[in-house]
Amino acid sequence: MLCCSISFLFSRGLCCQIRTFCFVSCVFFFHVIYGLCWRSIKNSTERRKLGFFSCGTGNPIDDCWRCDRNWQRNRKRLADCAIGFGRNAIGGRDGKYYVVTDPNDDDPVNPRPGTLRHAVIQDRPLWIVFKRDMVITLKQELIMNSFKTIDGRGVNVHIANGACITVQFVTNIIIHGINIHDCKPTGNAMVRSSPSHFGWRTIADGDGISIFGSSHIWVDHNSLANCADGLIDAIMGSTAITISNNYFTHHNEVMLLGHSDSYVRDKIMQVTIAYNHFGEGLIQRMPRCRHGYFHVVNNDYTHWEMYAIGGSASPTINSQGNRYLAPANPFAKQVTHRVEQSDVWKHWNWRSEGDLMLNGAFFTPSGHGAAASYARASSLAAKASSLVGTLTSNAGALTCRRGYQC
């Protein structure tokens, strides 16, 4: 319209010049408006993509899967979310789902289909879930076979008041979202460990989870309390283990990592302990370590009565970004405890880096801080200790509902 008006007033030659100017201006204007619109559309699209991560807490495990409202359809995504030394544990990711429908454990030698025992002894990979809330009281140890995931999300599952979980000479195990408590010594009985084998079991210690000669193990988002021996023990050459996002309460000897001072095969042990909450009613061993390499990172220690971290037989312990709240007892302010009478412990590589010490808590370091030793004992980057409250706020078994972020 503008160009037509100008052409009426001016000569034909001048009009051509103005028309050219108008065309160029319109094209330029179109590209500017188109560019702005496209950037707006693209930014909106990118924001929608980022919406999946909008519930992020900074906890890399949780942020990997918990923001997904369709977590129940995408359960196996969890297997891609492990961190630390146990990050390659895939559990039953490559197998079928197995739904536990029966909480009974009537026959440890010939378990019924639909029971948890029948699921864990199978020779093939399985991702094990539960049809409904249940309390499972095991008559004898639950002896797991390789490539299994026990996934308690979406229901309230307790393994309690009987035997508990044994991970022995197997690999690739994930245990997630279970309440494990009041475990008792059992044994002197026949127990099946695979479809083709059962054998005699002597008396078990009564651990919540016993890891024996096994590798690529991930124990995540469980609530553990009040067992006869340890809540989680890993011994006899076990390695490539991550213990994360668990809530530990009401127990004496919480966690043992390493069989004995003389069992030197545990030098291969590598364990990551991350984002756990060590809560009320705990006394010692969070953990107690021997021989191997241990990364204790971004955990919340809100109670101990004797000490938090102990060890013997020259373990390397790398404590980073934890929050240690000492008890009121003036004789239990020290985070660390060495089981050694002489000064030999002064050569063990134990360090505290970026830890937050509260109410008089203190960490006694030792060793030369050799970079190579701590590199081997480091399994992920530590976050600031000021973030520990957020990182561990959802430790323990989660309450997850279908159609909602977990």
Residue numbers annotated as active site: 285
Q: Is the dihedral of CA 300, 306, 311, 317 positive or negative?
A: positive
Nearest Cα neighbor of 299 from 325, 317, 273, 318 is 273
CB atoms near residue 102 (< 10 Å): 17
In angstroms, rounded to a whole number, what is the distance separating the alpha carbons of residues 62 and 121? 29
Say how far residue 109 (Cα) sits from the centre of its chain.
Answer: 32
Interhelix angle 12-50/2-9, rounded to 10 degrees, is 170
Task: Enter the tokens of residue 220.
Answer: 């995540």
In angstroms, rounded to a whole number, what is the distance separating the alpha carbons of residues 27 and 92? 59
Nearest Cα neighbor of 380 from 286, 295, 263 is 295
Task: Enter the tokens of residue 101.
Answer: 């429908």
Task: Enter the tokens of residue 363.
Answer: 């960490």
Q: What is the DSSP letter of 208?
A: S
- Beta strand 251-253 pairing with 232-235: unpaired
Place of tokens 């499972």: 136
Give the amino acid at 160: A
In angstroms, rounded to a whole number, what is the distance separating the alpha carbons of residues 77 and 71? 8
Contact 167, 210 (CB under 8 A): yes
Give the amino acid at 294: F
In angstroms, rounded to a whole number, what is the distance separating the alpha carbons of residues 379 and 377? 7
- Asked if the peptide bond before residue 327 counts as cis, ω within 30 degrees of 0, the response is no
In angstroms, rounded to a whole number, what is the distance separating the alpha carbons of residues 180 and 76? 22
